[in-house]
């Protein structure tokens, strides 16, 4: 039997055992650790296709796993990275998982014609699915850290920065953020996340630019048709990416992916990296999508 079949079978068994030990409380670690170690899978995959003897592949794989574990334990930025057996009592665990609630907002001003939102917001679940009479509202519940919001004006543009303050993460991270935006300004959005679930319904807004940078993420973005031209740029690691666009808009997609599955129904393939809808050149409203991803599942859906 080949090394490849044995190795990937053993890997799936080990992942299943980790789920059991984690769920039963025998060991403590954050799933963020696994998400951030996804490049190790690429290394192991590369080892499996090297044209050498199987026992050499096995040795290289074991060394890779040991080195990765060593670096996590020695150089992890905080306790969230560390793996440990659960010797702590329930009171200590309860302290780690206390819920933090926040409500942040920025008032709307008649001089604001453009708004840019820069979000450096870590891991968790992030949604935009409602509007507000304020410029922006944020409701958040989580287990660690607090968000801070700052803003400044440049001519008729309001620049908003939202970030998660540094925190000593312990145990499993819980972070749920729901945002509402005002429909009047023209929006530029830039989102920087780690291992996250992102669900943004941007169809009610005039979005000029959307930039999302994520690690191992589940990203879903729904765009509207309120701008003559919109640009979407998504960079992710091992991710599931879905972008929804209106049927009445023209759309052009540029991809740079590795080991990705792509589903672009209603698009014509121009070459290995470019796709566009029929009648794109003459469309009154256009959406340009650029995607860079590792082992990803990418869908662009017309609604």
Q: Which tens digits make up the pLDDT trace of 176-226? A: 899 999 999 999 999 887 777 889 999 999 999 999 887 767 889 999 999
Q: Which of 12-16, 142-146, 287-291, 292-296 has the highest mean pLDDT?
A: 287-291
Residues 29, 124 within the same domain: no
Is residue 293 domain-resident? yes
Query: Does residue 27 belong to any structural domain of this protein?
Result: yes
Single out the residue in 49, 64, 87 at which a domain terminates. 87
More confident residue, 81 or 182: 182
State residue 244's pLDDT score: 97
Task: Give the pLDDT score at 91.
Answer: 45
The per-residue pLDDT of the chain, averaged, comes to 80
Residues 113 and 46 grouped into a single domain: no
| Same domain flag for 176 and 53 | no
Give pLDDT, residue 112: 95
Looking at the domain assignment, is residue 92 inside a domain? no
What secondary structure does DSSP assign to the chain, as a single string?
--HHHHHHHHHHHHHHHHHHHHHTTSEE--HHHHHHTHHHHHHHHHHHTSSS-HHHHHHHHHHHHHHHHHHHHHH-SSGGG--EE--S-HHHHHHHT--EEEEEEE---TT--EEEEEEEEEEEEEEEEEE-SSSEEEEEEESS--EEEEEEEETTEEEEEEEEPP----SS--EEEEEEE-SSSEEEEEEEEEEEEEEEE-TTSEEEEEEEE-SS-EEEEE--S-SSEEEEEEEESS-EEEEEE-TTSEEEEEEEESS-EEE-TTEEE-SSSEEEETTTTT-SSEEEEEEEESS-EEEEEE-
* Domain extent at residue 67: 3-87
Residue 242: inside a domain, yes or no?
yes
Domain membership of residue 247 (yes or no) is yes
Residues 179 and 250 in one domain: yes
Do residue 230 and residue 278 come from a single domain? yes
Tens of pLDDT, residues 38-80: 677 777 777 777 887 877 877 887 787 777 766 655 545 444 4
The answer, yes or no, to whether residue 171 has pLDDT greater than 80, is no
Domain-ending residue, one of 28, 53, 87: 87
Which residue matches tokens 């792509």? Answer: 262
Q: What total of structural domains would you count in the chain?
A: 2
Say if residue 170 is in the same domain as residue 267: yes
pLDDT (mean) for 255-263: 83
Please give the pLDDT value at position 258: 75
User: Do both 103 and 252 map to the same domain?
Assistant: yes
Q: Are residues 151 and 295 in the same domain?
A: yes
- Average pLDDT for residues 262-290, to the nearest whole number? 94
Give yes or no: residues 218 and 290 share one domain. Answer: yes
Q: Does residue 207 belong to any structural domain of this protein?
A: yes
Domain boundary among 87, 107, 134: 87
**Within this chain, do residues 11 and 145 fall inside the same structural domain, yes or no?**
no
Over residues 92-140, the pLDDT tens digits come to: 444 444 578 999 999 999 999 999 999 887 678 899 989 999 999 999 9
> Do 231 and 285 share a structural domain?
yes
Do 133 and 30 lie in one domain? The reply is no
For residue 93, tell me if it sits in a domain.
Answer: no
pTM higher than the cut 0.75: no
257 domain residue, yes or no: yes
């Amino acid at each position: 039997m080949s090394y490849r079949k044995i190795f990937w079978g053993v890997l799936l068994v080990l992942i299943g055992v980790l789920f059991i030990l984690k769920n039963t409380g025998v060991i403590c670690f954050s799933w963020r650790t696994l998400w951030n170690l996804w490049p190790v899978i690429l290394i192991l995959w590369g080892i499996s296709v090297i044209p050498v003897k199987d026992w050499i592949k096995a040795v290289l794989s074991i060394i890779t796993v040991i080195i990765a574990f060593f670096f996590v334990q020695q150089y992890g930025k905080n306790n969230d990275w560390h793996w440990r057996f659960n010797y702590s009592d329930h009171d200590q665990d309860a302290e780690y998982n206390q819920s933090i609630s926040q409500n942040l907002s920025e008032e709307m001003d008649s001089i604001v014609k453009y708004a840019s939102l820069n979000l450096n917001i870590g891991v968790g679940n992030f949604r935009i699915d409602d509007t507000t009479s304020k410029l922006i509202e944020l409701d958040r519940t989580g287990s660690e850290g607090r968000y801070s919001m700052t803003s400044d004006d440049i001519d008729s543009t309001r620049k908003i920065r939202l970030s998660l303050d540094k925190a000593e993460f312990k145990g499993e991270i819980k972070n749920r953020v729901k945002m509402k935006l005002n429909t009047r300004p023209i929006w530029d959005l830039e989102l920087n996340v780690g291992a996250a679930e992102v669900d943004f319904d941007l169809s009610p807004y005039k979005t000029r630019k959307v930039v999302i940078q994520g690690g191992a993420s589940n990203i879903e973005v729904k765009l509207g048709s309120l701008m003559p031209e919109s640009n979407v740029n998504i960079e992710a690691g091992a991710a599931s990416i879905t972008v929804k666009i209106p049927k009445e808009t023209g759309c052009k997609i540029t991809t740079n992916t590795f080991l990705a599955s792509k589903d672009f129904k209603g698009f014509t393939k121009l070459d290995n990296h470019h796709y566009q809808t029929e009648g794109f050149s003459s469309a009154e409203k256009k959406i340009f999508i650029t995607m860079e991803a590792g082992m990803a599942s990418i869908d662009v859906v017309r609604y």
